[in-house]
Structure 1
Amino acid sequence: MENKSHALAAGIFVVVVAALLAGLGLWLTRDRTDYTLYELSSKDSVSGLQPEAAVRYKGVAVGKVTRIGFDPKMAGNVLIRIAVNESAPISPTTFAQLGYQGVTGLAHIQLDDADAPIQPPPPGDSGLPRLTLKSSSFSQIAEQGPAILAQVQEATERINKLLGDENQARLALTLDNLAKAAGSANTLVQRIDNTVATKLDPALATVPAVAQDARATLQSLRTAGDNAAAAAGEVRSAVAKLSVEGGPIDKIADSSQSLSDAADRFGRVSLPRLNNAADEAARAARRLGRTASGISDNPQSLIYGNGSASAGPGEPGFVPPTRLAPAP
């Protein structure tokens, strides 16, 4: 009897202390801020955005998300209701955008100002003012991904067409003609030199300065011909290196294919994993809420556990112990 009375007193004490702590926590965490309600309507996906998510104005927390649903006026649009501190400098140039926190996939509402006033959307059925919700950078990248891949594919096809067999044959023919022209120029220089040496020596002897200049000019022409032939050889070698298997052209094609594969893996693997991480975090929060609610509804479970305890004196269902008969 006495042990049960002590247990009852301890249970009442725990309940009272828990109620006091809960009241103290509510008093300390009560929100006295005055909020102004706004609505946002978006046709884009809002994955990672949850109720109670933060609303930030240029990085400063100024409110929270109060509701996420569907817009009854525009089929397929998501309707987001936010509460913004009245002290936040909301102006006709203010617009909203989804922001993401690192690699967790959790989203929040980011408010910012444009350079010029923005015409706000008309209010909905609730009559609350609406802010313009622009697409986030992440959404824009996801939308532009197919266009980027298409441009890379088109560039690759043009490079392959430019370096096709027919164009390579034409380039090789041009280099051969250039080499032949250089050889002809070298032969012409030799003939001029021979003519000057055999037939114009008497005349050149009378004008040694002119002869010296002519020889220097002929030597320059010979050097130019040799340089042209060397340049033609180098160009032919460079074209051969570009066309060789595993060369720069093949590496460009491989890099383009790797970029296409990376974008495809990002769309098929990374995005689903980010969405799964956000769903797991939401489920963990709901489990924690259910546990706290169970303890608040049945605080004596901290002492007796989840099972029901026997009734004590004065409680319905109490059965006094049976007195043992004295021994004869």
Structure 2
Amino acid sequence: MERDANYVAVGTFVLLLLAIGTGFVLWYSETGDRRQYQRYEIYFDGSVFGLSEGGSVRYLGVAVGRIARIGLDPRDPSRVRVIADISDDTPIESGTVARLALQGVTGLLFIDLKPADPNRPQMEPVASLNYPVIPSERSDFDVFISSLPDVVAKAGEVLNRMNAVLSDENIGAVTAALSSIEDATRQLPATVDDTRRLLAQLEGVAEEIRGAAADVRGLTSSSAPELREAIVRLRNAADSIAAVSARIDQFVAANEDSLSRFADQGLSEFDALVRDMRETVKAVERLSRQLGDDPSRLLYQPSSRGLEITP
């Protein structure tokens, strides 16, 4: 009797499970995907790695279908033939194109459909085998994948060049150059001071030349026109030296900060110029002293011939 009761309980439980399963199937069939699908062919040039059967087909990011089959084009093995089931209510037009897109960070690909664009160049149509064909275009992902070997090669070349530039020899040369610039920068203020002192000396010498020229002009007021012209030129030269000295002094005062950054180029030429200026000052000082002591010596040289006496 107890055994019969157990059989009844088991049978009741099984019938209940069957009823629940049947109800779920009926509910799912009523609320499931009732859309009608149209089958299309899409051809891609190159690899479609990451694209799988059952994958999503989207129109502007909205899921509108699924991938039914993936295979090679029997007419061209370098081309991949994808068969996709797309909802009838999807606006597939003559200018609609398909492209591969990356789904998040998963690495999986899906087919993304783009609407017709009048500015888009016309695609070369591919003959259909069984179903209508949706033309495809290269996506940014395809361009990136195809250019990746070139990018890697260029990156390697850049690294090799950086290693060559940052060699021990070049680093040593740069260190030596920086040390030389630092030494020259420390010496530059003293050089500027020497230049200012030389300019002051030039101004004094110019004043002495003016005075000597005036003395010579007084001694030779009745001399030949050529002598007067020489005196005028001497005075003009003194005036020019004074003017140049004033301009250089103004330049040095206005550009002292810039001269401090001048140490990386032209410092040796600047020092040579200072040395030449020193020699010039010395020569002009000697000339001024001679003019101050005896101006006539500059104009009347002693005769190199002896005095001839007539008997």
TM-score by length of 1: 0.54
For residue 57 of structure 2, what is the amino acid of its counterpart? V
Query: What's the C-alpha RMSD, in Å, of the aligned pairs?
Result: 4.5
Q: Distance in 2 between matches of 1:117 and 1:58?
A: 19
Q: Distance in 1 between matches of 2:175 and 2:96?
A: 58
Q: Any conservation in 1 of the 2:40–2:85 contact (CA below 8 Å)?
A: yes
Residue 231 (str. 1) matches residue 234 (str. 2): no
Query: What's 2:139 paired with?
Result: 136
CA separation of 1:203 and 1:94: change in aligned 2, threshold 3 A:
same
Residue from 36, 46, 50 that aligns with 2:48: 46
Query: What's 2:99 paired with?
Result: 97
Structure 2 unpaired stretches of 5+: 212-239, 267-311
How far the C-alpha of 1:38 sits from its partner, in A, is 1.3
Residue from 189, 201, 204 that aligns with 1:194: 201
Q: Any conservation in 2 of the 1:183–1:225 contact (CA below 8 Å)?
A: no
Residue 64 (str. 1) matches residue 31 (str. 2): no
CA separation of 1:4 and 1:167: change in aligned 2, threshold 3 A:
closer
How far the C-alpha of 1:120 sits from its partner, in A, is 4.6
Which entry has the higher C-alpha Rg, 1 or 2?
Answer: 2
Which has the larger displacement, 183-192 or 14-23?
A: 183-192
Q: Any conservation in 1 of the 2:126–2:135 contact (CA below 8 Å)?
A: no
Residue 10 (str. 1) matches residue 13 (str. 2): yes
Instruction: Report how many residues are paired.
Output: 229
Query: What's 1:79 paired with?
Result: 81
How far the C-alpha of 1:161 sits from its partner, in A, is 6.2
For residue 136 of structure 2, what is the amino acid of its counterpart? L
For residue 218 of structure 1, what is the amino acid of its counterpart? I
Q: Distance in 1 between matches of 2:177 and 2:138?
A: 50
Cα shift readout 1:95-150 (whole Å, capped 9, x = no counterpart): 11122221222322111147235335323432x12222233333322322221233
Q: Any conservation in 2 of the 1:183–1:229 contact (CA below 8 Å)?
A: no
Which has the larger displacement, 44-53 or 224-233?
A: 224-233
Q: Distance in 2 between matches of 1:154 and 1:232?
A: 36
Query: What's 2:286 paired with?
Result: none
Query: What's 2:247 paired with?
Result: 217
Q: Distance in 2 between matches of 1:182 and 1:157?
A: 42
CA separation of 1:214 and 1:72: change in aligned 2, threshold 3 A:
closer
Which has the larger displacement, 75-84 or 223-232?
A: 223-232
CA separation of 1:99 and 1:214: change in aligned 2, threshold 3 A:
closer
How far the C-alpha of 1:81 sits from its partner, in A, is 1.0
For residue 64 of structure 2, what is the amino acid of its counterpart? V
Query: What's 1:55 paired with?
Result: 57
- Work out which structure has the larger RCO, using CA pairs closer than 8 Å and 6 or more positions apart in sequence: 1
Q: Distance in 2 between matches of 1:157 and 1:173?
A: 29
Q: Any conservation in 1 of the 2:68–2:84 contact (CA below 8 Å)?
A: yes
Secondary structure of the corresponding residue to residue 136 of structure 2: strand
Q: Distance in 1 between matches of 2:158 and 2:193?
A: 42
Secondary structure of the corresponding residue to residue 150 of structure 2: helix
CA separation of 1:229 and 1:20: change in aligned 2, threshold 3 A:
closer
Matches within 5 A, 1:194-273: 194-200=201-207, 203=210, 216-223=246-253, 229-233=259-263
Secondary structure of the corresponding residue to residue 52 of structure 2: coil
Residue from 112, 125, 139 that aligns with 2:114: 112
Which has the larger displacement, 1-10 or 159-168?
A: 159-168
Query: What's 1:251 paired with?
Result: none
TM-score by length of 2: 0.56
CA separation of 1:43 and 1:199: change in aligned 2, threshold 3 A:
closer
For residue 10 of structure 2, what is the amino acid of its counterpart? A
Q: Distance in 2 between matches of 1:190 and 1:88?
A: 91
For residue 249 of structure 2, what is the amino acid of its counterpart? Q
CA separation of 1:47 and 1:153: change in aligned 2, threshold 3 A:
closer
Q: Distance in 2 between matches of 1:4 and 1:63?
A: 49
Query: What's 1:149 paired with?
Result: 152
For residue 17 of structure 1, what is the amino acid of its counterpart? I
